[in-house]
Amino acid sequence: MRVLVAHQVPKARTGGMSRLMGFIHDRIAAAGHEIDYLCSDDVPATWASWYGRRVAFPMAVRSKTKEAERAGRPYDIVNVHEPCAAPVVIGKGDSSPAVVVTSHGLERRAWELAKEEGLLGREGPGWRTRLTYPPSALWPGEMALRRADHVFCLNNEDRQILMRDFGRLPQTITRVMPGADQVYADAADTRDYSHATRILFAATWRKNKGIEDLVPAFVELATRHPDLVLNVVGAGAPESAVRACFPEHLHSRIECETPVDDEAMAATFARADLFLLPSLFEGTPLTLMQAMMSGLPIVTTSTCGMKDVVGDGETGFLVPIRAPRKVVETIERLLGSSSLRREIGTAARRAALHQYTWDNSAVPVLRAYEALL
């Protein structure tokens, strides 16, 4: 079986999407199948400048597919990311590879939430985005989701929407779960739950990750707990920009890191005492599995893939979105009880070691590919 994995993200496995696709397909390659990748780095700069990224990337996918056909080694399957999948699906012929569209969080759901934010008086999409986003990304993505041979999604909420609103049959949808490497469990093997002074936020510093709720929650917690530190990991923004979101007197208690690999990231997780991710919208965040594998007590929102993974009160705590007050209350509860931290953290670690490994993540993907053939 030959598979082309075409996702418009950098080739380096530093982000959630590139890591998810890469680590899963490493296992499929180890099973004897041939995997090629097409990433944003592979698109000629002239194409991107002439046609724009959303057009240039699908053109590159089709070009690579045709090139393989001409070489007498056609792909059996093309796995392409939802926002840039429409031209690939539209151009599909009877002899073309099967097309699998992967959604890392349905564009429709992200768009509805963004508009809802504006109605609530929070930062919503600007007028230019309201005009350009639907025709350039939302509608083409929905067309691809309807016409693809198969769809991969990252949570049950998206799966239900695909069946209810897009008319997809259950057997044409596979829910894919991220995994975490054993290195996270190993690094935190001697975790000490007797103290709690470091809160870890491991995510890009942007709106959908819940930073508008994270900031006021930490400000209140820091006022009550003078030793509390917030560790922001993988922000993708300058440290000065992250710190500027907080009152000046708290800047020294905001630490930013960008670990270069899993070993460094695992060490950062091992040093933390609590994991906080108040996201508004996700697929299923990779860092959630890493936190569980590391045995961290988790506080996250009851939405998207988080509620599929975290058992509320068992392997973590779920709070509503846009609820910094509930974040404060839940973290206060954890700060006040070392036994609760240990109970939640060790249960999360057990669940991750049993369920959320990359070997387990690859199983439904390979099964779906084989069914398509």
What is the 3 state secondary structure string of 223-253?
Answer: HHCCCCEEEEECCCCCHHHHHCCCCHHHHHH
Query: What residue type is assigned to position 274 of the chain?
Result: L
Per residue in 262-288, pLDDT tens? 999 999 999 999 999 999 999 999 999
364, 358 in Cβ contact below 8 A? no
Percent of the chain scoring above 70 in pLDDT: 98
User: Looking at residue 51, what is its pLDDT?
Assistant: 60
Within this chain, domains 2-179+358-372 and 182-355 share the same CATH topology: yes
User: Looking at residue 52, what is its pLDDT?
Assistant: 64
- In sequence order, what are the residues at sequence separation of 6 or more whose Cβ sits closer than 8 angstroms to the Cβ of residue 230? 199, 201, 218, 222, 253, 254, 255
Q: What mean pLDDT is predicted for residues 309-314?
A: 96
Residue 15 vs residue 342, higher pLDDT? 342
Per residue in 92-109, pLDDT tens? 777 789 999 999 999 999
Buried residues in 243-280 as b, exposed as e (16+ CB within 10 A): bebbeeebeebbbbbebeebeebbbbbbebbbbbbbbb
User: Looking at residue 55, what is its pLDDT?
Assistant: 78
Domain 182-355 listed as CATH 3.40.50.2000: yes
Is pLDDT of 181 > 90? yes
User: Looking at residue 159, what is its pLDDT?
Assistant: 96
Tokens 């053939």 sit on residue: 373
Tokens 């599929």 sit on residue: 308
Is pLDDT of 153 > 70? yes
User: Looking at residue 49, what is its pLDDT?
Assistant: 64
Name the average pLDDT for the chain: 93
Domain residues of the chain, as ranges?
2-179+358-372, 182-355
User: Looking at residue 83, what is its pLDDT?
Assistant: 87
Tell which CATH classification among 1.10.1200.10, 3.90.190.10, 3.40.1010.10, 3.40.50.2000 matches the domain 2-179+358-372. Answer: 3.40.50.2000
Q: What mean pLDDT is predicted for residues 177-188?
A: 96
Buried residues in 59-78 as b, exposed as e (16+ CB within 10 A): bbbbebbeebeeeeebbebb
Percent of the chain scoring above 90 in pLDDT: 80
Per residue in 117-150, pLDDT tens? 989 989 889 999 999 888 888 998 999 999 999 9
Residue 9: phi and psi, rounded to 5, are -135, 160
- Interatomic CA distance for residues 170 and 266, integer angstroms: 36
Per residue in 42-92, pLDDT tens? 887 776 666 666 778 888 898 899 899 999 999 999 999 998 888 888 877
Q: What mean pLDDT is predicted for residues 327-350?
A: 98
Is pLDDT of 152 > 70? yes
User: Looking at residue 50, what is its pLDDT?
Assistant: 61
Q: In DSSP terms, which residues pair with 6 in a beta bridge?
A: 38, 80
User: Looking at residue 191, what is its pLDDT?
Assistant: 96
